[in-house]
Amino acid sequence: MNTPVDIASPLTPTELVASDGSFFDRLTVMATSLLGVPVAMVAIIEENRQIFPASCILSGVLVGVTETPLSHSICAQVVKLEEPLVINDTRQHPMTLDNPAVTEAGILAYAGFPLVNEEGKSFGTFCAIDYAPHEWSTNDVALLRMLALQVTSEIQLRTALNRLQHDNATLTAVAEKRAKINRANRHDLRTPLNAMLLGLEAVEEFGHVNAEQKESLEMARRNGLQLMSMVDQMLDIGNIDRMGNAALFRQRLQARELVNAAIDQTGILATDKEITLTSHCESVTHLSADEDKMVRVLVNLISNAIKFTPAGGQVTIQVKDMPGPDLVDHVFFEIADTGIGISPGHQELIFNEGYRVNPEATTKDSTGLGLAFCKTIVEAHGGDIGVISEPGQGSAFYFKLPLETAEV
């Protein structure tokens, strides 16, 4: 069952005006001053009442009034008609002569223009009121029309902004909920995978297995380890997306330690494929880095280089200290190969999670997660990563990490 996301509803027109009424209040003050009337207001018509979220009421029975029932509303007639209503003497007009706003509140002159939403539907008015008959001039009417348009434009703008904020809040909440579910699912995957790998290791202990069975068990174990690696990478990406570099377990170390550990894990792959794997580490400075995650970054990059390099080719690892404006400020890593290369159109996309150059390919161990993991980990360390490649000319993946003294 889908649990609804708890997000506040978009604001109503009344709430939009009241949230920052100073703009509208200034317009009502301008109207009373220029028209020489005691009352100007923004009126919003709701189901059973009219509300005045912005107003300038200088005198009379309306001082302090913020709402009235619709029975006492002339503005409701404007909204119903969806056109301006200008009345010099409300006691003489058939639409208003019996209205309690006239007979009880003493509103004897009224001029109001409708406020409309982006669909063109009226929802309120900008109006001017006098307690005595008032001869509204052409200039008066033009001024009210202009001010009403200002109010309409501002409310429509605030409505659009509020809708965008509401939609963004909804998307953020849905994304957070989805991420939480994904984190739980990834953690849940580890339990059966661990059980499966332990079971595979225990099979040989229960009795003799022949060569064919042993090969099948080894294949199952490799695939299980690959699945475990995928889960770990997804967990790490999710943790860093959620926690940033706080998800790293930093320690003081040298680049040589990272390279040696990665070669220990990948050397057998190069040997099996008759690929020459060499390293040149000239760095002598120290890093502040998460050793486990950075070794896995190097293992990913070296394994990819071996995977896409034909038998008899070369993979070279180079590491060196790089100077900043004054001192050495970062360490540069490069993993270059003599493989098939990558076309320019794919180079900007290969670090995206789930992206593969050829999604239809059946390349062994191709998950689309490895390079996304590398990018996430390197950037969490305050570094950056990239690739230089030409089809048929090999590739050089590189990244740089700041020294332990740099802020990351």
Give me the DSSP letters along 183-249. HHHHHHHHHHHHHHHHHHHHHGGGS---HHHHHHHHHHHHHHHHHHHHHHHHHHHHHHHHHGGGG--
Q: Are strands 250-254 and 39-45 parallel, antiparallel or unpaired?
A: unpaired
Looking at the structure, tell me whether residues 160 and 27 fall in a common domain.
yes
3 state DSSP class of 397 = strand
- On whether residue 48 sits in a domain, the answer given is yes
**Distance, CA of 316 to CA of 336 (rounded, Å):** 5
Looking at the structure, tell me whether residues 264 and 371 fall in a common domain.
yes
Looking at the structure, tell me whether residues 18 and 147 fall in a common domain.
yes
Looking at the structure, tell me whether residues 279 and 393 fall in a common domain.
yes
- Taking the alpha carbons at both ends of the chain, their separation in whole angstroms is 42
* Domain final residue pick, 115, 143, 164: 164
3 state DSSP class of 166 = helix
Q: pTM (2 decimals)?
A: 0.50
* Domain final residue pick, 164, 183, 216: 164
Looking at the structure, tell me whether residues 160 and 253 fall in a common domain.
no
Position of tokens 């001029």?
111
Residue 129 belongs to domain spanning = 13-164
- On whether residue 241 sits in a domain, the answer given is no
* Domain final residue pick, 131, 164, 197: 164
- On whether residue 286 sits in a domain, the answer given is yes
Which of 9, 8, 79, 19 minimizes the C-alpha distance to 53?
19
**Residue 56 and residue 74 in contact, taking contact as beta carbons nearer than 8 Å:** no
Position of tokens 């060499």?
278
- On whether residue 181 sits in a domain, the answer given is no
**What are φ and ψ of residue 390, in 5° steps?**
-135, 140
Position of tokens 């994304």?
175
Q: What is the pLDDT of residue 19?
A: 66
**Residue 32 and residue 39 in contact, taking contact as beta carbons nearer than 8 Å:** yes
**Distance, CA of 2 to CA of 10 (rounded, Å):** 22
- On whether residue 137 sits in a domain, the answer given is yes
Looking at the structure, tell me whether residues 136 and 25 fall in a common domain.
yes
Q: What is the pLDDT of residue 361?
A: 45
CATH of the domain at 346: 3.30.565.10
**Distance, CA of 84 to CA of 76 (rounded, Å):** 11
Kindly state the tokens that stand for 234. 């997804």
- On whether residue 264 sits in a domain, the answer given is yes
196 Cβ partners below 8 Å, 6+ apart?
Answer: 224
Q: Based on the structure, what is the number of domains in the chain?
A: 2
Looking at the structure, tell me whether residues 276 and 376 fall in a common domain.
yes
Q: What is the pLDDT of residue 186?
A: 56
Looking at the structure, tell me whether residues 283 and 380 fall in a common domain.
yes
- On whether residue 230 sits in a domain, the answer given is no
**Distance, CA of 231 to CA of 235 (rounded, Å):** 6
Q: What is the pLDDT of residue 332?
A: 93
CATH of the domain at 99: 3.30.450.40
- pLDDT tens across the length of the chain (408 residues): 344 444 455 567 667 666 666 888 889 999 999 999 999 999 999 888 998 988 888 888 888 888 899 999 999 999 999 999 999 999 999 999 999 999 999 999 999 999 998 888 899 999 999 999 999 999 999 999 999 999 888 888 888 888 888 888 887 777 666 666 655 655 566 566 666 667 767 776 776 778 877 777 777 777 676 676 666 766 666 666 666 666 788 889 999 999 999 999 888 889 989 999 999 998 888 888 989 889 989 998 999 999 999 999 999 999 998 876 655 588 999 999 999 998 888 888 888 876 666 544 444 455 567 888 899 889 988 899 999 998 988 999 999 998 864 333
**Residue 114 and residue 82 in contact, taking contact as beta carbons nearer than 8 Å:** yes
Kindly state the tokens that stand for 343. 């076309």
Looking at the structure, tell me whether residues 159 and 254 fall in a common domain.
no
